[in-house]
Amino acid sequence: MIDKRSGEVSNLEVPDSDATTGIGHTRWSTHGPPTDINAHPHTDCTGEIAVVHNGIIENYDVLKSKLSSHTFESDTDTEVIPHLLEAELKSDTSLREAVQAVVAQLEGSYAICVSVKSRDEIVVARDGSPLVVGYGDGENFVGSDVTAFLEHTQTVTYLEDGDVARVDDGDIEVWNGNQKVERDVERVEWEAEAAEKGGYEHFMRKEIHEQPTALRQTLSGRIDISAATADLDLEFEEAFLESIEEIQFVACGTSYYAALYAAELLERFGDVRTSVTIASEYRFGGGRDPYCTLTVAVTQSGETADTLRAIRRAEAAGARTMAVTNTLGSTVTREVDETLFIRAGPEIGVAATKTFASQVTTLALFSVFLGRARGGISAAKARDVLEDLQRVPGAIQQALDREREVIDAAEKYEDSRSFFFVGRSLGVPVALEGALKLKEISYAHAEGFAAGELKHGPLALVTPETPVLGVLTEGANPAETMNNVTEAQTRGADALGCVSSDTRFRTLDVSFSVPDVGVAEPLVANVYLQLFAYHVANLQDRPIDKPRNLAKSVTVEWLVISWNSRVTKPETHMRTQHKHAF
């Protein structure tokens, strides 16, 4: 039985079945429009072989031309896979061998799941896209992320590139090439309830409100006030830490903005030159000494393809590497020298919220750790910073308790033509992140700027329909930023600001109060900007958890079930907007 629909997951009504295996998928199209025909799974000519796939098959046109006798129904790159399997799968060929023969022909990235009507098993393969298997009692699972089946099991294995796994109700076998291999079995500490909405209308709002708890987890056991340092369980040699001449951050999107925040802290406290590069633009060169360079990948999922490629370039050049990630067992953790986990718990919404806060906080700890190792920060200053970080969860809770003020502002400005976000110093990445959140989920035009750049062009766009949101806190040069905000006000724009207590900001049309937590104040300001974006989008009835055209690796998910009871519709975690199939 195959049933698939375009649109929301709720559009698909799959009846109960006596089948003992099932595959399902939610995915945006990479080839062709989001239609029923292009939805997954895709089948061969006989309809016996079904395939779901994350990633992109770059040579599908070439492969398709070799299958001229086959009839194709969709516009997708994925459909070539079941047709190739039809040619490979003979009565005396195992499904695992047939899948291995097919993936050897594929170019690109993929996580593939294959089911055949006549065989009570599922075979999966991975190269460049995340894939994890879960071990149950008389049932086993496969997904792109553990949250897809967290309510059923917390015991998992993360597959590696080149792995092909055979899954049935009692066993999981993993092969790489012609060799059967053993992969580590790990227990995920996340609870199933963490991947549910818990009474909130959207995952995003729930995750915004989870930030105090997430940051307490991030900080737990890592602050040593008496020694004036952070205990991060890193095993870099002291001589290497002292020899570092440059730290290079590579990241994408929200993680890139977290890296921008961290880079300034490292230059202040770590006494080290830093650079931050969008991962897709990263090249190691320019006369850098690889042996005195640390390249840091910041990636929530640990599976971001551009970030992985960047870190591999750094390693190939001879640089030492570190990852800052949320995901135990992810690809990046296996490829770097050291890993710092942000401990934020599962994040379901496409728009990153609590992971940004946890990334910044984790890297702030690292800046103190490195500064103490290199003598770039005194013990007294380190204690001040660490004590400020300890107060951040409570400060964020104070901001959350004032959500009604943000709702009022959202109601006032939801129909504005454009939004400008501005800041200086540590306020710049927060302004950029605030603009990203608003455009990401509300589809409003929003731009973030270094405040001093307003007069170099953007002021031409300011009108009474262009509210300006400023980060006016400690660590963000608030007085100078306010001068730039005032320039916008004189041109008719309303001004909203996240402010420390100061009479200079009485001319703001709307202000949000930020508690005193030193260099972490812009991070608290960011919570107000998250709430503002959320409520503007909610007032406009946007699909907040699954904005159009967007996905992240942990939300382009598919759930595969192999078990000894009837297959029923897996409602809970099929989240991405385009497709669901069974």
Q: Is the pLDDT of residue 558 over 50?
A: no
269 and 236 in a common domain: yes
How far is it, in rounded angstroms, from Cα 550 to Cα 351? 9
pLDDT cut 90: percent of the chain above it: 65
Say which range, 140-154, 398-412, 465-479, 505-519, has the weakest mean pLDDT: 140-154
What pLDDT, on a 0 to 100 scale, did the predictor assign at position 450?
95
In a domain, 547, yes or no: no
Say which DSSP state 285 is in. -
What pLDDT, on a 0 to 100 scale, did the predictor assign at position 257?
98
In one-letter notation, the amino acid at residue 474 is: E
Tokens encoding 519: 């260099």
What pLDDT, on a 0 to 100 scale, did the predictor assign at position 557?
45
Full-model pTM:
0.85
Element (H, E) at 254: helix 253-269
Q: Is the pLDDT of residue 541 over 80?
A: yes
What pLDDT, on a 0 to 100 scale, did the predictor assign at position 505?
80
How far is it, in rounded angstroms, from Cα 385 to Cα 523? 14
Cα 299 off chain centre by: 7
Q: Of the residues 351, 380, 400, which one is the last residue of a structural domain? A: 400
Burial of 184 (C-beta count, 10 Å sphere; 0-12/13-18/19+): exposed
Q: In sequence order, what are the residues at sequence separation of 6 or more whose Cβ sits closer than 8 angstroms to the Cβ of residue 403?
A: 531
List 156's β-bridge partners, or say none.
Answer: 134, 186
How far is it, in rounded angstroms, from Cα 573 to Cα 26? 10
Q: Which domain holds residue 478?
A: 403-539
> Which alpha helices (DSSP H) does 494-520 contain, by range?
none
Say which range, 119-133, 241-255, 335-349, 559-573, has the weakest mean pLDDT: 559-573
220 and 301 in a common domain: yes
372 and 425 in a common domain: no
Q: What is the pLDDT of residues 426-452, one digit of tens each?
A: 999 999 999 999 999 999 999 999 999
411 and 396 in a common domain: no
Q: Is the pLDDT of residue 40 over 90?
A: no
Tokens encoding 253: 């999107």
How far is it, in rounded angstroms, from Cα 446 to Cα 432? 9
How far is it, in rounded angstroms, from Cα 369 to Cα 222? 10
In a domain, 546, yes or no: no
219 and 169 in a common domain: no
Say which DSSP state 520 is in. G
How far is it, in rounded angstroms, from Cα 582 to Cα 579? 10
Helix (H, G, I), strand (E, B) or coil at 350: coil
What pLDDT, on a 0 to 100 scale, did the predictor assign at position 38?
84
Say which range, 136-140, 246-250, 387-391, 400-404, has the weakest mean pLDDT: 136-140
Q: Of the residues 352, 371, 400, which one is the last residue of a structural domain? A: 400
In a domain, 360, yes or no: yes
Query: pLDDT band at residue 90, thresholds of 50, 70 and 90?
Result: confident
Cα 124 off chain centre by: 23
End-to-end CA distance of the chain: 8
Q: What is the pLDDT of residues 176-219, one digit of tens each?
A: 988 999 999 988 887 766 667 878 899 999 999 999 999 999 99
Q: 31 or 520: whose pLDDT is higher?
A: 520
How far is it, in rounded angstroms, from Cα 111 to Cα 129? 5
Element (H, E) at 499: strand 495-499
In a domain, 168, yes or no: yes
CATH number at residue 487: 3.40.50.10490
409 and 392 in a common domain: no
290 and 250 in a common domain: yes
Q: How many CB atoms lie within 10 A of CB 318?
A: 11
Cβ-contact 25, 580 below 8 angstroms: yes
In a domain, 32, yes or no: yes
Q: How many CB atoms lie within 10 A of CB 289?
A: 12
In one-letter notation, the amino acid at residue 477 is: N
415 and 360 in a common domain: no
The percent helix, strand, coil of the chain (3-state, each to 5) is 35, 25, 40
Cβ-contact 324, 216 below 8 angstroms: no
340 and 228 in a common domain: yes
97 and 33 in a common domain: yes
Nearest residue to 147 (alpha-carbon basis) of 558, 521, 517: 558
Check whether the bond before 547 is cis (ω within 30° of 0).
no
What pLDDT, on a 0 to 100 scale, did the predictor assign at position 287?
62
How far is it, in rounded angstroms, from Cα 352 to Cα 560? 26
What pLDDT, on a 0 to 100 scale, did the predictor assign at position 566?
39
Q: In sequence order, what are the residues at sequence separation of 6 or more whose Cβ sits closer than 8 angstroms to the Cβ of residue 427?
A: 451, 470, 471, 472, 473, 475, 476, 477, 481, 522, 525
CA atoms within 13 A on the CB side of 509: 20
Q: Of the residues 400, 417, 435, which one is the last residue of a structural domain? A: 400
Burial of 230 (C-beta count, 10 Å sphere; 0-12/13-18/19+): buried
CATH number at residue 60: 3.60.20.10
CA atoms within 13 A on the CB side of 500: 18
Q: How many CB atoms lie within 10 A of CB 273?
A: 14
Place of tokens 């650079």: 275
415 and 562 in a common domain: no
How far is it, in rounded angstroms, from Cα 501 to Cα 189? 40
In a domain, 219, yes or no: yes
Q: In the sheet that 510-513 helps form, which strands lie side by side, from edge to edge?
A: 445-450, 418-423, 468-472, 495-499, 510-513
Question: What does pLDDT average to over the chain?
Answer: 88
Exposed e or buried b per residue across 414-449, where buried means at least 16 C-beta atoms within 10 angstroms of its C-beta: bebebbbbbbbbbbbbbbbbbbbbbbbbbebebbbb
In a domain, 544, yes or no: no
Nearest residue to 403 (alpha-carbon basis) of 532, 515, 526: 532
162 and 247 in a common domain: no
Kindly report the backbone phi and psi dihedral angles of residue 147, in degrees, each rounded to the nearest multiple of 5, phi listed first: -65, -20
In a domain, 167, yes or no: yes
Element (H, E) at 379: helix 379-400
Helix (H, G, I), strand (E, B) or coil at 163: strand
Tokens encoding 90: 């003979």
What pLDDT, on a 0 to 100 scale, did the predictor assign at position 580?
27
In one-letter notation, the amino acid at residue 373 is: A
Radius of gyration of the chain measured on its C-alpha atoms: 25
Q: What is the pLDDT of residues 488-514, one digit of tens each?
A: 999 999 999 999 866 578 899 999 999
Instruction: Provide the domain count of the chain.
Output: 3
Q: CA-based diameter of the chain, in Å?
A: 81
